[in-house]
Structure 1
Amino acid sequence: MVSAEPTRMAGDVASVRAALLRVEDPFFLVRTESGLAATNDPVAARTVQVLAAVPPGRPEALGDEAFRRAHGVRQAYMAGAMANGIASARMVIALARDGILASFGAAGVVPARIDQALTEIRRDAPGMPFACNLIHSPNELAMERATVDLCLRHQVRCIEASAFMSLTPQVVHYRLAGLVAREGRVAAENKVIAKVSRLEVAELFLRPAPEPMVRELLAAGLITAEQADLARRVPMADDITAEADSGGHTDRRPLTVLVPELIALRDRIQSELGYRQPVRIGAAGGIGTPAAAFAALSLGASYVVTGSINQASVEAAQSESTKALLVAANSADCVMAPSADMFEMGVEVQVLKRGTMFAARAKRLYETYRAYDSIEAIPATERLLLEQRTFQRRLDEVWEGCVGYFTERDPEQLIRAERDPKRKMALIFRWYLGLSSAWSIVGEPERATDYQVWCGPAMGAFNAWAAGSYLAPARNRQAAELAAQIMRGTAVTARVAALRQVGARLPAAACTYLPAPLEG
């Protein structure tokens, strides 16, 4: 063990920092005649006393090699989906070309646009890995079915299943439709990455598909008899992402609790069922800096997933006005608000608080929904306030818009609304919740105070880390560049941690990785 006082470090801090940053080379902390120094040269290290050493630690070596191999990517890093196409085809293509797995934000997107996006991705990133988001839509099953059908038609080989509370025939259909037998083993050509925050949901994806659901799919002719038989031998997911305190749908679980819990559950079920390849556990939520990514990997995560920080990237389908709000956010500028897709169930999403009144107005809508059984039951003065301040139009006009929207998207919704006045009220209120994110995406100036921007504390953490660097302005935040900077910073953080474990004490200024353009 060595205790190297920072004040005795030979040379300037910059040279020590430079040696630490060269993560592709080994690092040696040595004692020379003039004091302590650092070098990357093994030959030079032989001529002096070596106090501590760490091997090369390239960003590409972080995380689980099985994740990189299974998905055909360079790094154990994933850019998660952001709904309404914010995680755009352009973003997915840029990351795929850089060897990074990214998920297209299909949630809330009509089938025709999903079809167009998948066509674009497969055309511009041929043969490269990518994923498509499949969000659980208990109130819009037709959308869930349409997304799976499109993924199968376009031969999308990976979906990111999110917000699931139970398995549905749609996600099971996707998984089983890709099962094939090869040399006595089961190969799952359709990969599933399940994003979860609860153990009971994780267990559903850690186990094989439910037999009753498998039989129904077989009877409907959606899978073959061989696939139904193979289903017993594989879990529902290849990877499970522990979703902690994140933007959008979140239970705000602490990552330090959730990741170890999921790993322990995975190990128990693996011991019971003995899969050939154990399900990998990844980490999402609150990951916006190298320190956070290193912490997640240190907990045992096989890979890390970023979300909020990509929303301010060049390729994100967000307006410049919204990106300006995002790059100014700090880690405390987030709040919970009712979600559009699960409004009636009281489910909430985490959104940006600074610069928008959306959260307060959305909560008022949910309180009104809980208090009354129909639009007609709302007191006249309260209804007028909603029309003037929130909707900025008469509720009758809003309903006309809902009719046009659901006639194209899911006509069953209109039939249910005609039978149930409270259901009709929910659809009217969801008009505001749904369009508020659309106003944010297009940058509607007249509705700027109504922008719904899904955002977690990772956004503020990234802004604080990038402050003063070339990544401070949104115009420089290319999604692939964010991935490269975070993973290189994670490699440096891992190197510093290894040195600390053997007692080496280096100057704080030498150990800090800040974003800087990478060579090559």
Structure 2
Amino acid sequence: PAPAVAAPAVPGRATPAPAVPAAPTAPVASAVPAASTAPAEPAGSGLGSARFREVYRSRYAYAAGSMFQGIASTDLVVRMAGAGLFGFFGTGGLPLSGIRAALDDIGRRLPPGAPYGMNLLHDMTDSVGERATVDLFLRYGVRYVEAAAFTRVTAPLVLYRAKGAHRDPGGRPVAVNQVLAKVSRPEVARQFLAPPPPELLDRLRAEGALTAEEAAAAAALPVASDLCVESDSGGHTDGGVALALLPTFVRLRDRAAAAADGEPVRVGAAGGIGTPEAAAACFLLGADFVLTGSVNQCSPQAGTSDAVKDLLAGLDVQDVTYAPAGDLFELGSRVQVVRRGTLFPARANQLYELYRRHARLEDIDARTLATLERGCFGRPLAEVWDRTARHYRDTGRPEIVHDAERDPKRRMALVFKWYFAESSRAALAGAKENSANFQVHCGPAMGAFNRLVEGTALESWRRRDVDAIADLLMTGAAEVLAAAR
């Protein structure tokens, strides 16, 4: 359903909240590549950066961000493209074969050259996999990448950005590939706002991955074309506050642009955007675009289970919390997850505390171990270790098993991390017999959106097509800003 547009605000009169479509009397079908009809010049199309809309070929300065393991699915990016909008596919946690299958699926369903993006998730333990993913993107002609979880600029990322770079007839450096970097720390942002490190360009040129012309042009370009400031969001988060982060990053961009002669990097905002008011606030703070995540997870196009979507549609703003991150368990990194209806946060925090206090599994008291086997793992820990070791051997990483067999603390970490992987699998599959352990990454924006659409056609997640969510947030943001003038 196309969102209704409220009447213009009357000066001096209180303006109601942005309009949300009323519930229809007859069911509305949700066909996946077909998109809802949008007005030719919808309210909201003038917000943010016109250059962002031009480069990403989107009606709005808006993008649907990636969510791991294909939760931001091929259905999502196809639906967004069909509606004149932009979305990123979530590659995190997928093998290279799964990413290739997604690219093939998108290629079959979208016309040549249609805009869509792919996530490039940094893995500090697997530079080979990162390079293989970039090589795959280049072979498929992927022109837009969302770079996430990077703490430093890497050679594969530089290769992606620099490939095809050249000078235009006027001598200005031009990049073929766009990198939208999600960042939450100024020291990381500075790396993306600067040109690639010369030693990385030299290495890529020496190995034949870049031509001299590509390397020379890339040396005059920032690593990122777009910088997305990630505030407190679902999943991995530093718990940042947009009110502090966004103006800081805009100033960093402005200083970097003053010292360069190319096109300035666009700065956008992500995290906590679940209402028109939140999107409007981001634009007021200087954002060139906004990027959404949690709200798109509760849509027909999201690649997760109906059980998870039912859970998400019932959340309020307080129904999320923090838990250890499975992929960075030993480092104490945190993710924001659903708290209501699942025991995952409490159990995950218990596992991390046990890991901090003990040197090996055998040091944990028998009663606690029995509780873990019954509640968290559903099987003996010896069986969990056997499955874990078999996984690493089958995926060509036997050295991880060898190290863990010599280091009891490492072995304990791998056993505990099995729980995090299994809790994600259970949620994605909708395994109701294991619903107490569902791990669902989500921020409070989901609860805010639920309150926004309560009593309307979008109260049911089955009507929340991702383009309808975009239309509602962006047209509503325009109304909020118009009323504030």
- Is the pair's TM-score, using the shorter chain for normalization, greater than 0.5? yes
In the other structure, the counterpart of 1:115 is 100
In the other structure, the counterpart of 1:350 is 336
Q: In 1, Cα distance between the equivalents of 2:270 and 2:396?
A: 32
The aligned runs of 1:99-178 (5 Å cut-off) are 99-126=84-111, 127-178=113-164
Where 2:87 maps in the other structure, the secondary structure is: strand
Q: 1:98 to 1:416 in 2, by over 3 A?
A: farther
1:416, CA displacement in angstroms?
A: 4.1
Where 1:233 maps in the other structure, the secondary structure is: coil
1:376, CA displacement in angstroms?
A: 3.8
Q: 1:144 to 1:30 in 2, by over 3 A?
A: closer
Q: In 1, Cα distance between the equivalents of 2:424 and 2:215?
A: 40
1:409, CA displacement in angstroms?
A: 4.0
Instruction: Say whether 1:300 aligns with 2:282.
Output: no
Letter in 2 for 1:116: A
| 2:59 counterpart (74, 77, 81) | 74
1:418, CA displacement in angstroms?
A: 4.2
Q: Deviations over 1:329-361 (max 9, x none)?
A: 011111111112111111000001000010111
Letter in 1 for 2:67: M
Q: In 2, Cα distance between the equivalents of 1:410 and 1:240?
A: 35
Letter in 2 for 1:115: R
Instruction: Say whether 1:439 aligns with 2:436.
Output: no
| 1:58 counterpart (37, 43, 52) | 43
Where 2:458 maps in the other structure, the secondary structure is: coil
Where 2:315 maps in the other structure, the secondary structure is: coil
In the other structure, the counterpart of 1:401 is 387
The aligned runs of 1:37-48 (5 Å cut-off) are none
In the other structure, the counterpart of 2:37 is none
Mapped contact 2:89–2:118 kept (Cα < 8 A) = yes
Q: Deviations over 1:288-344 (max 9, x none)?
A: 111111110111100011100000000001111111110110111111111121111
In the other structure, the counterpart of 2:197 is 210
Q: 1:245 to 1:438 in 2, by over 3 A?
A: same
1:178, CA displacement in angstroms?
A: 3.5
Where 1:344 maps in the other structure, the secondary structure is: helix
In the other structure, the counterpart of 2:411 is 424
In the other structure, the counterpart of 1:89 is 74
Q: Looking at CA atoms only, which structure, 1 or 2, has the larger radius of gyration?
A: 1
1:371, CA displacement in angstroms?
A: 2.2
Instruction: Say whether 1:371 aligns with 2:371.
Output: no
In the other structure, the counterpart of 1:386 is 372
Instruction: Say whether 1:201 aligns with 2:182.
Output: no
Letter in 2 for 1:86: I
Mapped contact 1:88–1:105 kept (Cα < 8 A) = yes
- Which structure 2 segments of 5+ residues have no match? 15-40
The alignment-based identity, stated in percent, is 43
Q: In 2, Cα distance between the equivalents of 1:436 and 1:89?
A: 23
1:405, CA displacement in angstroms?
A: 2.8
Mapped contact 2:175–2:218 kept (Cα < 8 A) = no
| 2:297 counterpart (293, 311, 315) | 311
TM-score by length of 1: 0.83
1:375, CA displacement in angstroms?
A: 3.2
Q: 1:136 to 1:28 in 2, by over 3 A?
A: closer
Mapped contact 2:174–2:217 kept (Cα < 8 A) = no
In the other structure, the counterpart of 2:456 is 469
In the other structure, the counterpart of 2:467 is 480
Q: In 2, Cα distance between the equivalents of 1:125 and 1:190?
A: 19
Where 2:145 maps in the other structure, the secondary structure is: strand
1:450, CA displacement in angstroms?
A: 0.4
Mapped contact 2:342–2:436 kept (Cα < 8 A) = yes
My pick for the range that moved more, 300-309 or 369-378, is 369-378
Instruction: Say whether 1:280 aligns with 2:266.
Output: yes
| 2:313 counterpart (313, 327, 331) | 327
Where 2:269 maps in the other structure, the secondary structure is: strand
Q: In 1, Cα distance between the equivalents of 2:77 and 2:462?
A: 18
1:443, CA displacement in angstroms?
A: 0.4
1:203, CA displacement in angstroms?
A: 0.6
1:207, CA displacement in angstroms?
A: 0.4
Where 1:321 maps in the other structure, the secondary structure is: helix
1:258, CA displacement in angstroms?
A: 0.7
Mapped contact 1:84–1:108 kept (Cα < 8 A) = yes
Q: In 2, Cα distance between the equivalents of 1:108 and 1:241?
A: 21
1:139, CA displacement in angstroms?
A: 2.8
In the other structure, the counterpart of 1:232 is 219
In the other structure, the counterpart of 1:222 is 209
Q: In 1, Cα distance between the equivalents of 2:392 and 2:222?
A: 35
Q: In 1, Cα distance between the equivalents of 2:418 and 2:298?
A: 25
**RMSD value over aligned CA atoms?**
2.1
Mapped contact 1:57–1:495 kept (Cα < 8 A) = no
The aligned runs of 1:440-455 (5 Å cut-off) are 440-455=427-442
Mapped contact 1:179–1:227 kept (Cα < 8 A) = yes
My pick for the range that moved more, 260-269 or 147-156, is 147-156
In the other structure, the counterpart of 1:249 is 236
Instruction: Say whether 1:260 aligns with 2:247.
Output: yes
Q: Deviations over 1:426-460 (max 9, x none)?
A: 22221111121111111001110100010001001
- Which structure 1 segments of 5+ residues have no match? 1-17, 37-55, 499-520
Mapped contact 2:246–2:285 kept (Cα < 8 A) = yes
Q: In 2, Cα distance between the equivalents of 1:238 and 1:202?
A: 12
Letter in 1 for 2:64: A
1:486, CA displacement in angstroms?
A: 1.1
Letter in 2 for 1:382: T
Letter in 1 for 2:150: F
Runs ≥4 residues deviating over 6 A: none
Letter in 2 for 1:244: S
Where 1:160 maps in the other structure, the secondary structure is: strand
Q: Deviations over 1:8-42 (max 9, x none)?
A: xxxxxxxxxx9x725xxxx58599xxx99xxxxxx
1:142, CA displacement in angstroms?
A: 3.7
Q: 1:30 to 1:69 in 2, by over 3 A?
A: closer
In the other structure, the counterpart of 2:31 is none
In the other structure, the counterpart of 1:12 is none
Q: In 1, Cα distance between the equivalents of 2:458 and 2:65?
A: 20
Q: 1:376 to 1:153 in 2, by over 3 A?
A: farther
Q: In 1, Cα distance between the equivalents of 2:481 and 2:396?
A: 50
Q: In 2, Cα distance between the equivalents of 1:130 and 1:419?
A: 46
Instruction: Say whether 1:457 aligns with 2:448.
Output: no
Q: 1:140 to 1:299 in 2, by over 3 A?
A: same
My pick for the range that moved more, 219-228 or 189-198, is 219-228
In the other structure, the counterpart of 2:28 is none
Q: In 2, Cα distance between the equivalents of 1:286 and 1:125?
A: 30
